[in-house]
Amino acid sequence: MALSLSNFLVSSIILLTAFVAAETHTYDFSIGWVIRNPDGQKDRPVIGINGEWPIPKIDVTIGDRLIVNVKNDLGNESTSLHWHGLYQNGTNHMDGVAQGTQCQIAPGASFTYSFTVDQPGTYWYHSHVGGQYPDGLRGPLIVHDPENPYADLIDEELIVTLSDWYHEQMPPLIAKFLSVSNPTGAEPVPQSALMNDTQGLQIPVEPNKTYFLRIVNMAAFAAQYFWIDGHTFRIIEVDGVYHEPTEASLLYITAAQRYGVLLTTKNETDANFAIMGSMDQDLFDQIPDGLNPNVTSYLVYDASLPMPEPSEIEEFDPFDDMELVPTDGEELYTDPSLIVQLDVLMDNLGDGANYAFFSGITYVAPKVPSLYTALTAGEFATNASVYGTNTHSFVLEHNSVVEIVLNNQDPGKHPFHLHGHAFQTILRGEEESGDFDPESVTNGSVVYPTKPMRRDVILVRPNGHLVMRFRADNPGVWLFHCHIEWHVDSGLIMQFVEAPLVLQETLTIPEDHFAACAAVSPPVPTIGNAAANTKDYLDLTGQNLPHAPLPSGFTARGIVALVFSIIAGLVGVAVIAWYGMGEMSQLEKEKQVDHVQHVAADRGVVSRTNTAAEGDVAGGGDVISEARAK
Ligand SMILES: *[C@@H]1O[C@H](CO)[C@@H](O)[C@H](O)[C@H]1NC(C)=O
Ligand SMILES: *[C@@H]1O[C@H](CO)[C@@H](O)[C@H](O)[C@H]1NC(C)=O
Ligand SMILES: *[C@@H]1O[C@H](CO)[C@@H](O)[C@H](O)[C@H]1NC(C)=O
Ligand SMILES: *[C@@H]1O[C@H](CO)[C@@H](O)[C@H](O)[C@H]1NC(C)=O
Ligand SMILES: *[C@@H]1O[C@H](CO)[C@@H](O)[C@H](O)[C@H]1NC(C)=O
Ligand SMILES: *[C@@H]1O[C@H](CO)[C@@H](O)[C@H](O)[C@H]1NC(C)=O
Ligand SMILES: *[C@@H]1O[C@H](CO)[C@@H](O)[C@H](O)[C@H]1NC(C)=O
Ligand SMILES: *[C@@H]1O[C@H](CO)[C@@H](O)[C@H](O)[C@H]1NC(C)=O
Ligand SMILES: [Cu+2]
């Protein structure tokens, strides 16, 4: 009795302290256009907040509540905000995914995000609507941790963001990217690289100090190599998860990844040093003349001394993040109850444009945001087909262990991101290692780490593979997608619907979220399956679908030849033109038999304006999963 009373007292005191310490941070964000020129080459409209750009850094402490009142003052585009890396445990409806967990916020409309933050680390926030964030709507979000296990080593904190930068806006770039005149799917190449949304930034430091340097890559596309001349650092955090301090001198940071490193300054102040970011040009199909992939900042020990030229690196040999071990020592999850195999491939559809596929499915947004389908489908919520063929949904049992086997059958590098979780990264195949072969594990030639690294974005190598695991302990609708924004636009997205029946019991959608749906023109339905059918959840008639496949015989090369022949025709080679146009009209016919909703192709432009049916996001599935008991 006495014991339990004292237990009660102790826990009340703990609760009370937590309660007293937790703060609420309220931000009022008016999202609107401003003109900026961060690389000094071109003024352009960018998306700012309250007339500012770069947009505000958000700082909270673990346990705090964050309330963000968004007002969309863009006038001509819809928007949303996603809190990249935050688990939103119990608040799936605050994840910010248009047509996934909410409706897009139409011009003139408002929407409130409100959630507590229960995890420490380096994060960022960005729009999750139709390719929008590279136009500027992305900024850092830091969750401070009074119990940082490395606090004793740290004197001060610094943050730098990396990004790539385009001179043109995303809607016209997406239209060009997803078009018959770009049948190979060559991604637009950025014009420059930025550090902290500028170039030539000077960062004053004091000698003989240890800084906790947080680095966030907010790029649309480009990974960056990152290093500081004359210095090494110790990695202690990746994507919000503490890892045992590990020495590194050159990092490879993909779009959406974060690193927290300890940087100890020199004892002498007789020189300054270049801080370098260099975009990985392997990602670019073709390198435009005069492109400078590098951005330089300076670690300034003495501002009266010159800023040095960066030293040249002959060959990049970055630190391999797979070596990291999480500080909490969490062990490898065993016996996954579901193995989801995703084969990545790019291919053309009947409109001639190039799309991205997970196991033959390219994401197309549903008519009803999938979370609302999960909440209104009753017992059918556990049947993945109600979320629509092209949301590529898998329904997960609460607390089950899920394994993702990703085979990259594409010659490009891709950074994959899971919402709602950090996953254990168990295996990454080398470039050209081909598909994952489970035999290599059974016969012992591959041994899984006992305490795998955990992060929320992981790079897969060209024609290589990944194996990841996570526990489905966070009821919600969570996207898994490539974080290259071009590939989001071309459909490299699928989604996990985790414990939907638990969601039905625990989640209440605030009224203003439904009001946002009503404000879209035409209004977005908030009940029903992916086709907005409320009577028969298994009847998907009318669901949004991708373009039809290419007529047989067409290949990307064929389309190149065809486009070339049309161009040749325009310059006067009449016969070739006639031939080309003949094929073109066949393609066009194909386009018309296509579904009324040209969702995928229109996504970039239409979804950012004001049309609901043509959703923003990608996802959906013929959900035949390969469950393999291990
Ligand atoms: C919306 O307005 C901005 C600012 O005038 C303009 O730069 C941008 O191109 C417009 N976007 C679309 C999709 O029309
Ligand atoms: C980089 O920008 C952030 C705001 O986004 C700012 O808080 C930070 O101090 C800047 N870093 C440096 C080193 O100036
Ligand atoms: C560096 O700092 C440590 C304590 O943090 C101090 O003991 C030492 O004397 C300093 N060294 C120099 C060269 O300033
Ligand atoms: C700075 O000096 C301290 C002792 O004063 C030494 O422990 C430390 O290693 C020195 N730092 C560097 C970067 O040389
Ligand atoms: C960018 O940095 C790399 C690595 O040091 C170097 O090889 C290259 O010459 C630099 N490019 C330009 C345009 O400065
Ligand atoms: C184990 O299996 C892999 C994949 O099938 C194969 O490449 C490898 O040679 C095998 N190793 C042994 C030792 O049998
Ligand atoms: C979510 O919260 C539950 C209950 O507190 C916990 O068991 C689970 O591990 C959490 N999941 C994540 C991803 O944070
Ligand atoms: C799920 O829906 C599909 C499509 O209507 C149907 O064929 C299947 O039988 C359903 N599965 C269950 C378990 O009800
Ligand atoms: Cu990709």
Nearest to 42 by CA among 163, 195, 190: 190
Residue 316 makes CB contacts below 8 A (sequence gap 6+) with 225, 250, 252, 278, 280
- Report the number of secondary-structure helices (H) and strands (E) in the chain: 10, 30
Residue 297 near residue 204, CB atoms below 8 Å: no
pLDDT at 144 over 90: yes
β pairing state of 233-238 and 258-264: antiparallel
3 state SS of 514:
helix
- For residue 439, the surrounding DSSP H or E stretch is helix 439-442
pLDDT score, position 589: 42
| Banded model confidence at residue 593, pLDDT cuts 50, 70, 90 | very low
Q: What pLDDT score was predicted for residue 550?
A: 83
Looking at residue 558, what is its pLDDT?
Answer: 66
Cα(598) to centroid(ligand 1), Å: 22
Structure tokens at 48: 């700012």
Buried b (16+ CB within 10 A) or exposed e, 183-211: bebebbbbbbbbbbbebebebebeeeebb
pLDDT score of 578: 37
> Which sign, positive or negative, has the C-alpha torsion 350, 352, 355, 360?
positive
Give the three-class secondary structure for 91.
coil
d(CA 191, CA 177): 16
Q: What is the 3-state secondary structure (H, E, C) of 207-221?
A: CCCEEEEEEEECCCC
Q: What is the DSSP string of 451-494?
A: S-EEESEEEE-TT-EEEEEEE--S-EEEEEEE-SHHHHHTT-EE
Return the axis-axis angle of helices 574-593 and 556-570, rounded to nearest 10°.
130
Residue nearest to atom 1 of ligand 5 (CA): 294
Q: Residue 318: pLDDT above 90?
A: yes
Residue nearest to atom 5 of ligand 8 (CA): 538
Token digits of residue 321: 């993040």
- 118 CA from centroid of ligand 7 (Å): 10
Instruction: Give the tokens for residue 62.
Output: 């673990």
Give me the amino acid identity at 308: P
Mutation to probe ligand 7, out of 115, 456, 474, 507 (largest number of atoms < 8 A from CB) = 474
DSSP category for residue 381:
G
Ligand 2 centroid distance, CA of 560 (Å): 45
Q: Best mutation site among 373, 380, 385, 537 for ligand 8, i.e. most ligand atoms within 8 A of its Cβ? A: 385
Q: What is the DSSP string of 193-261?
A: EEETTBSS-EEE--TT-EEEEEEEE--SS--EEEEETT--EEEEEETTEEEEEEEES-EEE-TT-EEEE
Q: Are the beta carbons of 63 and 580 closer than 8 angstroms?
A: no
How far is the centre of ligand 3, averaged over its atoms, from the C-alpha of 267 (Å)?
A: 8
Six-digit token string for 295: 């951005």
Express each pLDDT in 548-585 by its tens digit: 998 776 666 666 666 655 555 454 434 333 333 444 44
pLDDT of residue 618: 34
Q: Which of 153, 267, 299, 301 to mutate to test the pocket of ligand 4 (most atoms within 8 A of CB)?
A: 267
CA–CA separation, 396 vs 399, rounded Å?
8
Contact in structure between 161 and 218 (CB atoms under 8 Å): yes
Instruction: Supply the pLDDT for residue 130.
Output: 82
Distance CA 365, CA 458 (A): 24
- Taking CB atoms and a 6 Å cutoff, what residues make up the pocket around ligand 1? 33, 45, 76-77, 169, 171, 608
Closest to 353 in 3D by CA, of 139, 210, 177, 474: 177
How many whole angstroms separate alpha carbon 341 and alpha carbon 355? 19
For residue range 2-34, what is the model confidence (pLDDT) as tens digits? Answer: 444 444 444 444 444 445 579 999 999 999 999
Residue 626 pLDDT exceeds 70:
no
Judged against a pLDDT cut of 60, whether residue 620 lies above it is answered with no
pLDDT one-digit tens code per residue, 227-268? 999 999 999 999 999 999 999 999 999 999 999 999 999 999
Strand order of the sheet with strand 233-238? 192-195, 156-165, 210-217, 258-264, 233-238, 241-248
Kindly state the tokens that stand for 124. Answer: 């960022």
- The three-point CA angle 253-235-142 to 5° equals 75
Q: Compute the chain's Rg from CA coordinates.
A: 25
Q: Give 307 Cα–ligand 4 centroid separation in angstroms.
A: 23
Give me the phi and psi of 61, to 5 degrees please.
Answer: -115, 150
377 and 608 Cβ atoms separated by less than 8 Å: no
Classify 240 in phi/psi space as left (phi over 0), alpha (psi -120 to 50) or beta. left
| Mean predicted lDDT score pLDDT of the chain | 89
Closest to 106 measured CA to CA, from 438, 408, 519: 519
Angle (nearest 5°) at CA 54 between 53 and 59: 125
Rounded Cα distance between 381 and 376, Å, is 8
Could you read off the pLDDT of 246-257 as tens digits, one per residue? 999 999 999 999
| pLDDT value of residue 65 | 98
Checking if the pLDDT of 615 tops 70, the result is: no
Kindly report which listed range (153-162, 417-426, 592-601) carries the lowest average pLDDT score.
592-601
Whether the predicted pLDDT of 329 surpasses 60? yes
At residue 50, does pLDDT exceed 60? yes
Q: Taking residues 78-84, what's their average pLDDT?
A: 98
**For residue range 434-479, what is the model confidence (pLDDT) as tens digits?**
999 999 999 999 999 999 999 999 999 999 999 999 999 999 999 9
Q: Is 473 in the pocket of ligand 7 (CB under 6 A)?
A: yes
Q: How far apart are CA 328 and CA 371, in angstroms?
A: 32
CA of 266 to the centre of ligand 4 (A): 7
CA-proximal residue: ligand 6, atom 11 (nearest): 445
Angle at 340 between CA 454 and CA 504, to 5 degrees: 85
Record the pTM: 0.89
Give me the mean pLDDT over the 389-417 stretch: 98
CA atoms within a 13 Å half-sphere pointing along the CA-CB vector of 585: 5
Answer yes or no: are the C-beta atoms of 260 and 140 closer than 8 Å.
Answer: no
The CA-to-CA distance between both ends of the chain, in Å, stands at 46
Q: Give the ligand with the smallest distance to the CA of 408.
A: 9
